[in-house]
Structure 1
Amino acid sequence: MTKFTDFLRAEGFAGTDNEWPDSVKRFPDGAQCRVEIPSVEGPAVLDAVLAEADARGVPVHRVSQGSGGMLLTSDELRRMAGIGRQRGIEVSLFARPLTGWGSSAAAQASGAGALAAQARGIEQVVHNLEDIERSVEAGIRSVLITDLGVLDIAARLRAAGEFPAGLRFKISVQMGLSNPPAVRLAEKLGADTYNVPTDLTLGQLAAIRAAVDLPLDVYIESPDDQGGLVRHLEIAEIVRVAAPVYLKFGLRNAPNIYPSGTHLEPLAISLGRERVRRAQIGLEFLDRRLPEAVMSKLPADDLAVPA
Structure 2
Amino acid sequence: MTTTSDHTQQQAKDVLRGASRGRDWLRQRGLPYSDEIPLEASTGEFDGGGQYGIEVPVINSFRILEQTLKGLREEGVPVTRFNETLGAFLLSDAEVRDMLDLCRESEVGMVFALGPRPEYDRKAAFYRGGFGQSQGRRINNNDALAVIADEAIRLTGLGCRGLIAYDPGVFRMLKLMRAEGALPSGLQLKASSHCIVSNPFTAAGYADDGADSVTTQHDLGLSVLQEMRRMSPSLVLDIPTDVYGNKGGFIRFPEVAELVQIAAPMFLKIGASAQAHPHDPVSDATVRARVQRVALAMEYLDKSGLEAVYIGSKAPQRCVPVSA
Q: TM-score, normalised by structure 1?
A: 0.90
Deviation at 1:273, TM superposition (A): 3.3
Give yes or no for the alignment of 1:113 onto 2:133.
yes
Give yes or no for the alignment of 1:278 onto 2:293.
yes
Q: What is the alpha-carbon distance in structure 1 between the residues aligned to residue 174 and residue 283 of structure 2?
A: 30
Instruction: Report what 2:86 is aligned to.
Output: 67
Q: What is the alpha-carbon distance in structure 2 between the residues aligned to residue 98 and residue 296 of structure 1?
A: 31
Q: How does 1:259-278 map to 2 (within 5 A)?
A: 264=281, 267-278=282-293
Q: What is the alpha-carbon distance in structure 1 between the residues aligned to residue 306 and residue 95 of structure 2?
A: 39
Give yes or no for the alignment of 1:243 onto 2:261.
no
Instruction: Report what 1:16 is aligned to.
Output: 34
Deviation at 1:174, TM superposition (A): 0.5
User: Contact conserved, 2:274 with 2:286, CA < 8 A, in 1?
Assistant: no
Deviation at 1:301, TM superposition (A): 5.5
User: Contact conserved, 1:40 with 1:64, CA < 8 A, in 2?
Assistant: yes
Which runs of 5 or more structure 2 residues have no equivalent in the other structure? 1-18
Instruction: Report what 1:82 is aligned to.
Output: 101
Give yes or no for the alignment of 1:192 onto 2:212.
yes
Q: How does 1:38-57 map to 2 (within 5 A)?
A: 38-57=57-76
Give yes or no for the alignment of 1:124 onto 2:144.
yes
Instruction: Report what 1:156 is aligned to.
Output: 176
Instruction: Report what 1:202 is aligned to.
Output: 222
Q: What is the alpha-carbon distance in structure 2 between the residues aligned to residue 50 and residue 296 of structure 1?
A: 18
Instruction: Report what 2:155 is aligned to.
Output: 135
Instruction: Report what 2:120 is aligned to.
Output: 101
| SS, match of residue 133 in structure 1 | helix
Amino acid at match of 1:198: H
Instruction: Report what 1:28 is aligned to.
Output: 47
Deviation at 1:270, TM superposition (A): 3.6
Q: Per-residue displacement from partner, 1:157-182 (whole Å, max 9, x unpaired)?
A: 10000111111101100100211111
Q: What is the alpha-carbon distance in structure 2 between the residues aligned to residue 39 and residue 302 of structure 1?
A: 19
Q: Per-residue displacement from partner, 1:176-215 (whole Å, max 9, x unpaired)?
A: 0211111101101110111000000111111111111211
Alignment length (residue pairs): 301
Deviation at 1:9, TM superposition (A): 4.3
Evaluate the alpha carbon distance shift between residue 78 and residue 280 of structure 1 in structure 2; reply closer, same or farther with a 3 A threshold.
same
Give yes or no for the alignment of 1:58 onto 2:73.
no
Evaluate the alpha carbon distance shift between residue 11 and residue 129 of structure 1 in structure 2; reply closer, same or farther with a 3 A threshold.
farther
Deviation at 1:252, TM superposition (A): 2.5
Q: What is the alpha-carbon distance in structure 2 between the residues aligned to residue 301 and residue 195 of structure 1?
A: 17
Give yes or no for the alignment of 1:303 onto 2:324.
no
User: Contact conserved, 2:49 with 2:312, CA < 8 A, in 1?
Assistant: no
Q: Per-residue displacement from partner, 1:99-134 (whole Å, max 9, x unpaired)?
A: 222443432333442335222222222222222222
Q: What is the alpha-carbon distance in structure 1 between the residues aligned to residue 284 and residue 28 of structure 2?
A: 49
CA RMSD of aligned residues (A): 2.1
Q: What is the alpha-carbon distance in structure 2 between the residues aligned to residue 297 and residue 270 of structure 1?
A: 31
Q: What is the alpha-carbon distance in structure 2 between the residues aligned to residue 268 and residue 132 of structure 1?
A: 29
Q: What is the alpha-carbon distance in structure 2 between the residues aligned to residue 251 and residue 30 of structure 1?
A: 27
Evaluate the alpha carbon distance shift between residue 135 and residue 156 of structure 1 in structure 2; reply closer, same or farther with a 3 A threshold.
same
User: Contact conserved, 1:33 with 1:294, CA < 8 A, in 2?
Assistant: yes
User: Contact conserved, 1:217 with 1:246, CA < 8 A, in 2?
Assistant: yes
Evaluate the alpha carbon distance shift between residue 191 and residue 276 of structure 1 in structure 2; reply closer, same or farther with a 3 A threshold.
same
Q: What is the alpha-carbon distance in structure 1 between the residues aligned to residue 191 and residue 248 of structure 2?
A: 18
Which runs of 5 or more structure 1 residues have no equivalent in the other structure? none
Q: What is the alpha-carbon distance in structure 2 between the residues aligned to residue 79 and residue 53 of structure 1?
A: 19
Instruction: Report what 2:4 is aligned to.
Output: none
Instruction: Report what 2:250 is aligned to.
Output: 229
